Amino acid sequence: MLLKGKKALIMGVANNRSIAYGISSAFTREGARLAFSYAGDAIKKRVEPICEELGGEFTFPCDVSSDAEIAAAAETVKEKWGKIDVLVHSVAYAPKEELAGRYLDTSRDGFRVALDISAYSLVALCRAFEPLMDEGSSVICMTYFGAQKLVPNYNVMGVAKAALEASVRYLASDLGQKGVRINAISAGPIKTLAASGISDFRVILDHIERFSPLRRNVTIDQVGNAALFLASDLASGVTGDVLFVDSGYQTIGLTPVMPEKH
Ligand code: NAD
Ligand code: 0WE
């Protein structure tokens, strides 16, 4: 049991296809205690049964665009648990119209919202929960390849994820003074709610299946197991890093002729 008795806060479960659900399943399998946040009443109704199913202890509201909700969340968690061992940030949002067409046409407001919810929120949450984290605690967030290389239509989310990945490095230094680690997982594309509105997502999934070294897409369970490693003491020497769980796709330069499926 890699996380026996460890208290883990999970932010970003929307349904049982969410990456945060895969992470929560891995954590509970290894003995962690779980609590879940939700943004708004619509998500609350979805998160409560999932909390129950996974043996979680409580749910609480936290729209990460609100300083007041972040402060209230930290207060609630402090009252319930005192300390936390793991914080999972699995949250992103950009206005839908920004995820199509030219990056050049990104609006000031779309840029602000995407960077606020998808990147700044990590900084705000780390600061709010810093007093609840001791030596050995671990923060994990989710990123995507589009932060590092051009992915058509990912647009302002790519810029937001680049900011998130850079934040992980700077936060690693600040939190490292207390022995707290922070890392990002760069997951390959997965058909979640956040991916459901994306036109041509099937084309992206087919591309990975064809050209990634493992010739397949990744699952939320594979991401969950990588998060389990980063959350556990097995990763006590790892901070400020981006761990790719992407069937090896990010290592590809030119693809060798037409690869065979195996
Ligand atoms: P998802 O839709 O299941 O999860 C996204 C979550 O973000 C939802 O629970 C939603 O409620 C939450 N959220 C949105 N705005 C919020 C706000 N203002 N405050 C609090 N929560 C808010 O989709 P997912 O694919 O599991 O996404 C989780 C993370 O994984 C995101 O950071 C996403 O960028 C990242 N990611 C996804 C993929 C993919 O292909 N699905 C790949 C790599 C990284
Ligand atoms: O990070 C993401 C998606 C994040 C996301 C998704 C949505 C859809 C609904 C953020 N904001 C919104 N806003 C909405 O209104 N991914 C890594 C998945 C993803 O999204 C893409 C991708 C991939 C992969 C968008 C374009 C191209 C590729």
Residue 117 DSSP label: I
Grade residue 164 by pLDDT with cuts at 50, 70 and 90.
Answer: very high
Interval 33-42 mean pLDDT: 97
> Which H helix or E strand runs over 88?
strand 84-89
Cα-to-centroid distance, 203 and ligand 2 (Å): 14
144 is catalytic: yes
Q: Phi/psi at 137 (nearest 5 deg)?
A: -70, 160
Cα-to-centroid distance, 239 and ligand 1 (Å): 22
Residue 261 has pLDDT above 80, yes or no: no
| Contact (Cβ atoms closer than 8 angstroms) between residue 248 and residue 47 | no
| Contact (Cβ atoms closer than 8 angstroms) between residue 211 and residue 249 | yes
* Predicted pLDDT of residue 259: 63
Instruction: Encode pLDDT of 179-223 as tens digits.
Output: 999 999 999 999 999 998 898 999 999 999 999 999 999 999 999
Ligand 2 proximal residues by C-beta, below 6 Å: 92-94, 96, 99, 144, 151, 153-154, 157, 189, 194-195, 197-198, 204
Probe residue for ligand 1, chosen from 47, 142, 246 as the CB with the greatest number of ligand atoms within 8 Å? 142
| Contact (Cβ atoms closer than 8 angstroms) between residue 27 and residue 35 | no
Probe residue for ligand 1, chosen from 192, 212, 222 as the CB with the greatest number of ligand atoms within 8 Å? 192
Residue 260 has pLDDT above 70, yes or no: no
Q: What is the CA radius of gyration of the chain?
A: 18
Cα-to-centroid distance, 154 and ligand 1 (Å): 14
**CB 10 less than 6 A from any atom of ligand 1:** no
Interval 161-176 mean pLDDT: 99
* Predicted pLDDT of residue 262: 59
**Which pTM does this prediction carry?**
0.98
Q: Which of 21, 38, 103, 144 is catalytic?
A: 144
* Predicted pLDDT of residue 209: 97
Q: Please, what is the angle between helix 220-231 and helix 19-29, to 10°?
A: 50
CA 24/CA 122 separation, integer angstroms: 19
**Which residues make Cβ contacts (< 8 Å) with residue 128, sequence separation at least 6?**
70, 71, 73, 74
* Predicted pLDDT of residue 255: 84
Instruction: Encode pLDDT of 109-141 as tens digits.
Output: 999 999 999 999 999 999 999 999 999 999 999
**CB 13 less than 6 A from any atom of ligand 1:** yes
Q: Give me the chain's average pLDDT, please.
A: 97
Interval 22-35 mean pLDDT: 98
CA 190/CA 248 separation, integer angstroms: 15
DSSP code string of 44-83: HHHHHHHHHHTT--EEEE--TT-HHHHHHHHHHHHHHHS-
Nearest ligand 1 atom, CA 91: 7
* Secondary structure class of 96 (helix, strand, coil): helix
